[in-house]
């Protein structure tokens, strides 16, 4: 029987691409990166942890906004280089912009068009500590 540790293939930077999906609607909420520590914390706590490439640190999703992700299942792709998390998105907001999903824009007629409303403005979520 394979274990998650023996099955995943982190990239040259020690990161693993992670697609995050709403467990009920199956909507893709976001794509993020995990390092080994973030993966282990996610498995241990049942809450999604990621690695921020821009901040160069591990973080718990929702630690500042309160929009935690409760992990219902973790899947690995055939190559072992991508994870799929199915989560319950607390507060219904996954994106730091205040949208339900990070994929709120669509190419339409050669231009990007917003296809979903802001649920809560980022300023109201983060105040002066906007990401």
Q: For each of the domains in the chain, give its residue range(s) and CATH number, in order of start.
A: 4-126 (3.10.20.810)
| Measured distance CA(49)–CA(63) in Å, rounded | 10
Determine the pLDDT at residue 129.
66
- Which residue is associated with the tokens 């072992």? 80
Q: Is 0.85 surpassed by the pTM of this model?
A: yes
Q: Which parts of the chain sit beneath pLDDT 50?
A: none
């Amino acid at each position: 029987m394979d274990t998650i540790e023996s099955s995943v293939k982190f990239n040259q930077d020690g990161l693993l691409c992670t697609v995050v999906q709403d467990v009920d609607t199956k909507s893709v909420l976001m794509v993020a990166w995990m390092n080994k520590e973030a993966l282990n914390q996610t498995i241990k706590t049942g809450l999604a942890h990621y690695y921020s490439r821009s901040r160069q640190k591990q973080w718990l999703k929702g630690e500042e906004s309160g929009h935690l992700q409760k992990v219902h299942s973790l899947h690995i792709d055939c190559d072992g280089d991508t994870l799929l998390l199915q989560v319950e998105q607390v507060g219904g907001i996954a994106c730091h912009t205040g949208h339900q999903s990070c994929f709120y824009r669509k190419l339409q007629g050669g231009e990007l068009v917003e296809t979903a409303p802001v649920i809560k403005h980022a300023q109201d979520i983060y105040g002066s500590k906007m990401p």
